[in-house]
């Protein structure tokens, strides 16, 4: 589900099983839940897809059927000079056929508001269990899974690690992770271009990560949409490989702004590609002055000491938080018991 359109692909699968139903945002901004696949009167399954020309019909969970359109009214574009057509102006900073920008803003607020509620639940769960959760984001192929495999190989003797893998299709990444011996759960998002907090919540129910462990969430390869979705993680880690060009932080600022750490990856390729490391760092700091940057290579292990150290520091902080929570609760229980004893 993208914040620009609000249409949910409805094809999310966790380990091959469909997630039941989803919420759907209509062009007028109302949000309601329904299933994308439901039996019609003749007992056959009805399917509907979004973006079928201008209109689509669908059956709601209560059995009623209705159709509605994706009209094209009230949209406009801002043109700057002769050579730029800019859809990023206006309150929504985006464009979707059939929606005005104010409708888009309302839809985005609805979707992100719901997502944030789920993310808050996940974050509480992580805090209560001392789980240090990282959300790995990047464009496709920057080296997330390779990095995870090498990271796990080094950490697994000392630290419990579990992985949630997000991809549109296939379970290949989860299988690559499982080959290291740690548990991994695959979420297939179908047409969805990012994970959301509800999907991760479902994954947690299945995966049950150990207390005081690290949870790595590999997001769908996409430098845009995952930036907007809090999964409840402690940090987003953005991976930029040197084959992608040093200008990416300026072109996709939301992602570099949302991240706490940037791994400048595949540095073993620097002799072979024209990539200006200093410029990349400068651009990244320009959009996010607080961004921490580590240069890594999964081929030769450069930078891994710093990266692993960063993880262990974060995990130690998360464990301490849990210990403090437990201590506060124990103290409170003692107080209540003393109170009851005094009354009894
Ligand atoms: N030279 C070099 N190649 C790397 C490095 N890390 C990953 N690769 C290669 O880059 C390609 C993509 O790596 P993946 O780990 O699959 O990338 P990913 O980000 O998980 O990809 P998606 O899940 O599809 O987004 C593979 O061919 C890896 O072998 C690295 O540090 N150096
Ligand atoms: Zn998207
Ligand atoms: Zn749509
Ligand atoms: Zn729908
Ligand atoms: Zn509907
Ligand atoms: Zn305007
Ligand atoms: Zn991957």
Q: What percent of the chain has pLDDT over 70?
A: 78
pLDDT of residue 301: 98
pLDDT (average), residues 230-255:
98
pLDDT (average), residues 51-65:
51
Residue 12: pLDDT band with limits 50, 70, 90: confident
Q: Cβ neighbours of residue 298 under 8 Å, at least 6 residues apart?
A: 143, 146, 147, 149, 150, 265, 266
Residue 300 CA, closest ligand 1 atom number: 31
Phi and psi angles of residue 243, each rounded to the nearest 5 degrees, phi first: -85, -5
- Which of 21-30, 161-170, 331-340 is predicted with the least confidence, judged by mean pLDDT? 21-30
- Which of 20-34, 71-85, 90-104, 216-230 is predicted with the least confidence, judged by mean pLDDT? 20-34
Q: Are strands 292-295 and 65-69 parallel, antiparallel or unpaired?
A: unpaired
Question: Is pLDDT of 122 > 80?
Answer: yes
pLDDT (average), residues 130-159:
97
Question: What string of DSSP letters covers 74-143?
Answer: S---EEETTTEEE---STTSS--TT--HHHHHHHHHHHHHHHHHHHHHHHHHHHHHT-EEEEEEESTTSS
Contact 165, 184 (CB under 8 A): yes
Tokens 């938080």 correspond to 321
pLDDT of residue 59: 53
Which is nearest to 33 in space by CA: 65, 66, 62? 62
* Strand ranges in the chain using DSSP code E only, listed in sequence order: 13-14, 17-18, 22-25, 31-34, 37-39, 45-47, 55-59, 65-69, 78-80, 84-86, 132-138, 161-167, 183-188, 214-218, 235-241, 261-265, 292-295
Task: Name, of 87-91, 189-193, 309-313, the range with top average pLDDT.
Answer: 309-313
pLDDT of residue 20: 53
Pocket around ligand 1 at a 6 A CB cut-off: 138, 140-146, 173, 221, 265-266, 268-269, 297-299
C-alpha of residue 269 to centroid of ligand 4, in Å: 45
Question: Is pLDDT of 23 > 60?
Answer: no
pLDDT of residue 41: 54
C-alpha of residue 21 to centroid of ligand 1, in Å: 34
pLDDT (average), residues 223-236:
97
Phi and psi angles of residue 193, each rounded to the nearest 5 degrees, phi first: -105, 10
Which is nearest to 234 in space by CA: 258, 206, 198? 258
Mutate to test the pocket of ligand 1, among 136, 138, 146, 224 (most ligand atoms within 8 A of CB): 146
- Closest C-alpha residue for ligand 1 atom 2: 266
- Which of 73-82, 233-242, 259-268 is predicted with the least confidence, judged by mean pLDDT? 73-82
pTM over 0.85: no
- Overall size of the chain counted in residues: 344
Residue 173 CA, closest ligand 1 atom number: 23
pLDDT of residue 219: 98
């Amino acid at each position: 589900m993208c914040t620009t359109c609000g249409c949910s692909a409805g094809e999310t699968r966790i380990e091959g099983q469909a997630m039941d139903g989803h919420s759907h945002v209509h062009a007028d901004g109302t949000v309601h839940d329904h299933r994308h696949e439901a039996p019609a009167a003749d007992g056959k399954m009805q399917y509907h897809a979004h973006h079928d020309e201008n209109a689509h019909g669908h059956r709601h969970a209560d059995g009623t059927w209705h159709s509605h359109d994706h009209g094209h009214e009230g949209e406009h574009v801002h043109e700057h000079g002769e050579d730029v057509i800019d859809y990023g102006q206006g309150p929504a900073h985006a464009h979707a056929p059939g929606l005005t920008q104010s409708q888009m803003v309302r839809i985005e607020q609805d979707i992100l508001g719901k997502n944030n509620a789920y993310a808050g639940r996940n974050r509480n769960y992580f805090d209560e269990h001392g789980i240090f959760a990282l959300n790995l984001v990047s464009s496709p192929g920057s080296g997330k899974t390779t990095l995870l495999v090498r990271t796990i190989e080094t950490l697994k003797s000392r630290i419990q690690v579990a992985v949630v893998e997000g991809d549109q299709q296939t379970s290949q990444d989860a299988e690559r992770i499982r080959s290291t011996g740690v548990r991994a759960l695959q979420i297939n998002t179908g047409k969805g271009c990012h994970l959301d907090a509800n999907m991760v919540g479902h994954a947690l129910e299945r995966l049950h990560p150990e207390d005081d462990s690290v949870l790595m969430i590999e997001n769908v390869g996409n430098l845009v949409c995952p930036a907007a979705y809090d999964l409840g993680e402690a940090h987003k880690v953005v991976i930029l490989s040197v084959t992608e060009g040093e200008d990416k932080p300026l072109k996709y600022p939301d992602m570099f702004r949302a991240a706490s750490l940037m791994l400048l990856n595949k540095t073993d390729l620097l002799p072979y590609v024209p990539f200006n490391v200093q410029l990349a760092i400068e651009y990244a700091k320009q959009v996010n002055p607080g961004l921490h940057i580590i240069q890594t290579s999964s081929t030769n292990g450069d930078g891994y000491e710093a990266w692993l150290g960063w993880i262990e520091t974060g995990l130690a902080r998360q464990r301490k938080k849990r210990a403090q929570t437990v201590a506060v609760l124990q103290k409170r229980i003692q107080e209540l018991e003393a109170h009851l004893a005094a009354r009894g």
